[in-house]
Amino acid sequence: MDASNLSIREINSLFTKKELKPSELYSKVFENAANSEAALHAHLTLFEEENIKKATESDKRFSNGESTSLLDGIPIAIKDNINIKNYKTTCSSKMLSNYTSPYDATVIEKLKEQNTLFTGKTNLDEFAMGSSTENSAFGLTKNPWNTDYVPGGSSGGSAASVGARSSIAALGSDTGGSIRQPASFCGLVGFKPTYGTVSRFGLVAFASSLDQIGPITKTVDDSRIIFSSISGEDSRDATSVINNQLDIPSDNTATIGVIKELMEDGISDEAKNEVNKVVQILKSKGYKVKEISIPVIKLSISIYYLIAPAECSANLARFDGVRYGLRVDGNTSYEMMENTRAEGFGAEVKRRILLGTYALSAGYYDEYYGKALLARKEMIDEFAKTFKDVDYLISPTTPTQAFKSGEKTSNPLEMYMSDLCTIPANLAGLPAISIPTGLSKDELPLGVQVMSKPLSDNSLLDFSEIIENEVQFDGQPKGWL
Amino acid sequence: MSNEFNIKNIAKLASINLSEEEQDSLSNDLSIILEHVNALSDLKLNSQQQEIFIHPLEKELELQEDEVVESLTHDEAISNAPESKDGKFVVPPSME
């Protein structure tokens, strides 16, 4: 068995029994990266040389029986919008191509305390804006299952890295589905925790009321291990919350709702079939399953594409050529800023900044942003009402399997539609997970999404693990090991 | 909702210098997107709440104590500046 195919708990067991050394696994994942990077371009930077010493320190801890962490010596890739001190954080943007972070994100501090080994920084859609990793200023990432197809986005590099086993797990960020959609396209587990449970300090902000860091992994248990390591209230993120988890049943006393609006037009038969397959399994195990209607979900894309660009236009105002990042000269400070932002941002980022600027501008605020906020509140209320009747909500993660590279680049709205199923969880702050369940007729992965009420992340993971064990999806992209 | 907008004016507000070609293509994209988001105008809201909330879990945002905490050093804070002098950011003049 190739160690890079194993789960974190299995690897830790081999480390503890001294049947495998962290440095051996570390070399193995870089061997896998050497086999796959030219074809996939999952990473923007790889850290092999710098971290060999840290891998041998892990070796020593296990050899002396001194290791206390499940993540000790586990090679993890980090999306390149999360700061690691003294390394570049580019956000796949020309704007930050020379930016070196002077500090660690809170999630990085926490993983360092666990003696995790970082493998590198992964490619993304510029500033996490996109659904295919085609908006990177530094080149496309390809899907490890079939390189004609996109890996999803915006955390496409993180998903491709775990898919090709050039890391054991990865961190991504999810503003409208950017963890769950690429995980689904690459046959992996992607988990967006409850908003606020994981600190956003050190994550380059896109839309602050929606952004959340989370794991992309091979198994639900791997996501659980990483979530428990990176979560917790943080005074440096005013929106972070105390991670007081609610306990809801995950066994067959739980009630499951299938969201009607996400099983209608616009969703492929293949995606619906995966949900139906899981529903049949759950029914056979004695779970009560019922159809649930949340009509406001149909407006998710409209609400999201006002709120996210509005927040993005404010957050990205910081890129002004003064304190960090690119500078393009001009005769005055204003000219310099306009030239810098013209040169530094790619087309999708400009599109969203302009859309957000318009939605927030005098005379249009109430009509657009204000209305979107009220509709968002309506969605939060509708979910809260729904969770009085059901414990978990199930839907496809994505309307279709992965699409081909270039297929949607000329039509922004069509690209936005690929986030239809994932956006509601961000708008309502809910925990949501994508679990791989099968393959399409094109031999590409499909997944289902499960959501639950805020702060029931651990129960959601327990329930998802039951689905994972019952479905027994063991597909893996071929040709990279 | 109205979709009348002046792309040059929005670009000015956003401090992005757009080429003629970009103005055309972005105008077109924004029209399509705004037409889609206009679906919101038909929404009959049950919620009467007019208050604007910030946190999706409606966490009350609290002010922190005004105390000195460990942060970046001066040198670290300025380490990525495109241009600096004597520990300060250097920018072109604000007025010609």
The answer to whether residues A226 and A344 belong to one domain is no
Which of A323, A353, A386 represents a domain boundary (last residue)? A386
Are A234 and A308 found together in one domain? no
**Secondary-structure breakdown of chain B: helix, strand, coil percentages, each rounded to the nearest 5:** 35, 5, 60
Residue ranges of domains in chain B? 1-42
The answer on A155 and A9 residing in a single domain is: yes
The parts of chain B modelled with pLDDT lower than 50 are: 1-2
DSSP state of A24: H
Same domain, A124 and A202: yes
In terms of Cα–Cα distance, which of A208, A148, A196, A198 is closest to A171? A198
Helical H runs in chain B? 7-13, 20-37, 74-78
Does A166 fall in a domain? Answer: yes
Q: Is residue A392 part of a domain?
A: no
Structure tokens given for A116: 């995790």
Angstrom distances, CA of residue B86 to CA of A98, A326, A329, B93:
21, 20, 21, 18
Q: Give 10-residue mean pLDDT values along chain A (481 residues).
A: 95 98 97 97 93 96 96 98 98 98 98 97 98 97 98 98 98 98 98 98 97 98 98 94 94 98 95 98 98 95 96 97 97 96 98 96 86 91 96 98 94 91 97 98 98 98 98 94 87
Dihedral (CA of A245, A248, A250, A256) sign: negative
Instruction: Residue window 406-465, chain A: list those with CB within 8 Å of chain B.
Output: 412-413, 416, 427-429, 454-455
How far apart, in Å, are the Cα atoms of A86 and each of A45, A50, A83, A435? Answer: 13, 12, 9, 35
Altogether, the residues listed in chain A come to a count of 481
Residue of A nearest to B38 (CA): A302
Q: Do B55 and A194 touch (CB under 8 A)?
A: no
Same domain, A239 and A220: yes
The answer to whether position A416 is within a domain reads yes
* CATH code linked to domain B1-42: 1.10.20
Is A21 among the residues known to form the active site?
A: no
Given A79, A121, A192, A408, the catalytic residue? A79
* pLDDT number for residue B2: 47
Whole-angstrom Cα distance, residue A111 to residue A113?
Answer: 5
Per-residue model confidence (pLDDT) at position B96: 63
pTM of the model: 0.97
Q: Which of A88, A174, A233, A355 is the mutation pick for testing B, counting most B CBs within 10 A? A: A355
A178 is catalytic: yes
Residue A391 included in any domain: no
Token pair belonging to B57 = 């879990």
Judged by CB atoms closer than 8 Å, whether chains meet at B30 and A355 is answered as yes
Residue-by-residue DSSP string for A451-476: EESTT-HHHHHHHHHHHHHHH-----
Task: Determine the pLDDT at residue B10.
Answer: 96
- According to the model, what pLDDT value does residue A365 have? 85
| pLDDT for residue B1 | 45
Residues A350, B79: C-beta atoms closer than 8 Å:
no
Q: Are residues A210 and A346 in the same domain?
A: no
Partner-chain residue, chosen from A334, A357, A454, that has the shortest CB–CB distance to B57: A454
- What ipTM, to 2 d.p.? 0.92
| Residues of A whose CB is below 8 A from B37 | 301-302, 305-306, 368, 372
Q: CATH number of the domain that A424 lies in?
A: 3.90.1300.10
Q: Could you tell me which of A127, A123, A75, A81 has the C-alpha nearest to residue A101?
A: A81
The total number of structural domains that make up chain A: 3
Q: Token pair 């027994």 is at which residue?
A: A472
Is the minimum CB–CB distance between A332 and chain B shorter than 8 Å?
yes
Region label for B17, one of left (φ > 0), alpha (ψ between -120 and 50) or beta (otherwise): beta
Q: For Cα atoms A356, A359, A363, give the angle at the middle one, nearest 5 degrees.
A: 145
Distance CA(B65)–CA(B52), nearest Å, equals 25
Mark which residues 209-238 of A lie under 8 Å from B by CB.
209-210, 235, 238
Domain carrying residue A268: 256-297+374-386
Q: Does A88 touch chain B (CB under 8 A)?
A: no
Separation CA A26–CA A469 (nearest Å): 28
In degrees, to the nearest 5, what angle opens at C-alpha A380 toward C-alphas A125 and A315? 35
A268 catalytically annotated: no
Same domain, A378 and A409: no
**What pLDDT, on a 0 to 100 scale, did the predictor assign at position A15?**
98
Residues A136 and A269 in one domain: no
Tell me the HSE value of A326 on the side-chain side, using a 13 A CA sphere.
Answer: 19
**Shortest CB distance from B10 goes to which of A321, A357, A428?**
A357
